[in-house]
Structure formats: C-alpha cells, structure tokens
Amino acid sequence: DAGVIQSPRHEVTEMGQEVTLRCKPISGHNSLFWYRQTMMRGLELLIYFNNNVPIDDSGMPEDRFSAKMPNASFSTLKIQPSEPRDSAVYFCASSPQVRGGSPLHFGNGTRLTVT
Amino acid sequence: RKEVEQDPGPFNVPEGATVAFNCTYSNSASQSFFWYRQDCRKEPKLLMSVYSSGNEDGRFTAQLNRASQYISLLIRDSKLSDSATYLCVVRGSGYSGGGADGLTFGKGTHLIIQP
C-alpha cells in the first residue's frame, strides 16, 4: 500500500522566497494533518482538514503560512515569504477519521532550510 | 504544566536489559493514547495503541493509569534496533491549540541501546 507521499524531500531556499510543500494522503483517509518538527519545540500541529475542509488552523504560526486541500488526494502548505526561523521538518499525516482511536500515518517529511 | 510531558533522556541501556519510561498528560478527558517511534531523520511511526486494560505486543508492554494520568512503555530484552526516540501521543477533547480533537505529541524520550 502506498503511504502518505510528500514532496519535495528537501528544500533549501533564501529568505523571502515562497515555499510550497505538497502532500498526498493515503487513499480513503478523510483527515489530513500538517505538522512541523524542531528540536526545541518538538512536533507541532499546524492545521488539519476533515473531508477537505480546514477544521482547526490555530497552530499556523502567522499569516505567512497557508494551507489548502483542493481535493481528497492532495494538499499544499505554502510559506510566503519564508524566514530562517521557518527551517524545520514539515510532516503531513493522514487518518481514517478525526475523532476516536485512529492513529496517524506520517509521510517522510520535507526538510526545509531557509538561509 | 505541559499537556504531554516526557523525560527526554537519553536513556542508555545495555542490550538485553529491560527499560521503561512514562508519559504524563494533563487533561483528564483524554480518550486515546499511543506510543510512536521515531528514528533519526525519519517520520514518526505507530508503535502501539494503549488500551485501558494495558496491552502487550511482543517485547513491548503499554499501560495506562487514568487515576494518575500517565501511560508507560516497557521494553523487554532490548535490541540494538530499539534505539530511537519514543513519542507519547494523547488524543482527547478540549485541548487549546491541540486541534484534531486534542491530538498532542510529547517531545519524546531518546533511547540508546548499547552493545
């Protein structure tokens, strides 16, 4: 079975540039999550979608961050303009449902470096 | 008080030994509990769910203590391949900023199995 697929695996960009991260959830999963991981703060939930609708974006750091899910098989996380403090590993995860005991399945992550 | 708290370690343990670590959570309304494993520069992967009555999966045993609000993970006959970071995950309702019905990750406990 194909797992959660993220692209790119690595992204190096200069401060001020736009960055777009992509995610394809597991087929049939109706919940999608974007996380950011740093050494200092661990895994932080940025936003999650249920049936393509954003449910909670309270974890999005600021207006420079935006996320979309135009259909059940694709989501993007965009940072514009990027800043060095955005450097982190960004994970996408999917789950069969938001509530209840369903665990999350993570993609390989995108390692973002902003110089 | 942090929502989900873990001793970051590292725990240095000789191969073949038994090791245990705990995770405490602050919201008594939490409903679901999981242990995830994360290898260096990899995505988190589900190790096991934690059930109210406790559960075992091979060398791994998970326990839940609702009264004291902690979960534990016990690893018997530890192997070199058990070296990783173990993340405690709590899912419930009412967390501020937790999103996803209160899905919150601890920062992880780093385990090193030594030959």
Model confidence pLDDT, tens digit, residues B52-67: 889 999 999 999 999 9
CB contact under 8 A, B34 and A103: yes
**The pair of three-digit structure tokens given for residue B101, joined into one six-digit string:** 């019905």
Please report the number of interchain residue pairs, chain A to chain B, with beta-carbon separation below 8 angstroms. 59
Nearest to A101 among B41, B49, B98 (CB): B49
Q: What is the mean pLDDT of residues A34-59?
A: 91
CB A60 within 8 A of CB A54: no
User: Which residues of B fall within a CB distance of 8 Å from A33?
Assistant: 99-100, 103
pLDDT (tens digit per residue) in B14-52: 999 999 999 999 988 888 899 999 999 899 999 999 988
User: Which residue is it, tokens 């999917």?
Assistant: A94
* Residue in B with minimal Cα distance to A59: B97
**In 10 A of CB A112, how many CB atoms?**
21
Are A55 and B99 an interchain contact pair (Cβ–Cβ within 8 Å)?
yes
What are the pLDDT digits (tens) for A74-108?
999 999 999 999 999 999 999 887 566 678 899 99
Answer yes or no: is pLDDT of A3 > 80.
yes
